[in-house]
Amino acid sequence: MAIQIDQINPGSTAVIVIDMQNDFIAPGAPLETPMGMELMPRLQKLLGHARQTGMEVIFTAHAHRRNGCDMGLFGEIYPPIQNQVGLVDETAGVDIYPEVAPQRDEVVIKKHRYSAFFGTDLDIILRTRKIDTVVITGVTTENCCHATARDAMFHGYKVAFICDATGTYNYPDMGFGAIPAEEVHRVTLGVLAGSTAHVMTTDELIHKSRQ
């Protein structure tokens, strides 16, 4: 049986906006993820609803120190990280893209790995706020969003994964053929729906959480 969420209580729900940073979203960015710009209107709609209904809104920002001490294997995987042209802490590139910027006291969690739970205080914040359901949005579907959704489920949170407010990029041929972003997105959603989360649209999330 897949996980199902029939009703969402805004007071015990947190929307987690994953890595909607300049270095991923801005045109020409070193780690540009085109689907991130495409999903912007739905994410803005979702954030407006979340703030109006009293959901917690939490942002994550992937960042590495300039000396590379927290880089791990990411330097081998992503040349912009190794060359320090992307995701360098305390630069404008790691800031949240202005069209979905945090408001007031909304938390921004800096992370050094795909999952927003790994090596951060996200779980402490969620438990302090008495959150039992998390809503996953942002980029990328198969990496940071997927990893955060999985860890959220491992920690006992119900997960709503928003299929039209998450996105990714095209994968080059790594020995298995090139994979377009839309296919990476579709397959990841299928895996999550069967193993981890209730995958739903922005409008479905809004409908399930109307007070």
Where b means 16+ CB within 10 Å and e means fewer, 32-42 reads bbebbbebbeb
Closest CA to 166 of 29, 13, 4, 19: 19
**E strand residue ranges, 28-106:** 56-62
Distance CA 208, CA 107 (A): 24
| Beta bridge partner(s), residue 18 | 60, 138
**Residues tagged active-site:** 144
Distance CA 124, CA 99 (A): 28
CB-CB contact of 40 with 28 (8 Å): no
Compute how many other C-beta atoms are within 10 angstroms of the C-beta atom of residue 43: 24
- Paired sense of beta strands 56-62 and 107-111, if any: parallel
Q: Nearest 5°: phi and psi at 87?
A: 60, 35
CB-CB contact of 66 with 58 (8 Å): no
Closest CA to 192 of 2, 1, 34: 2
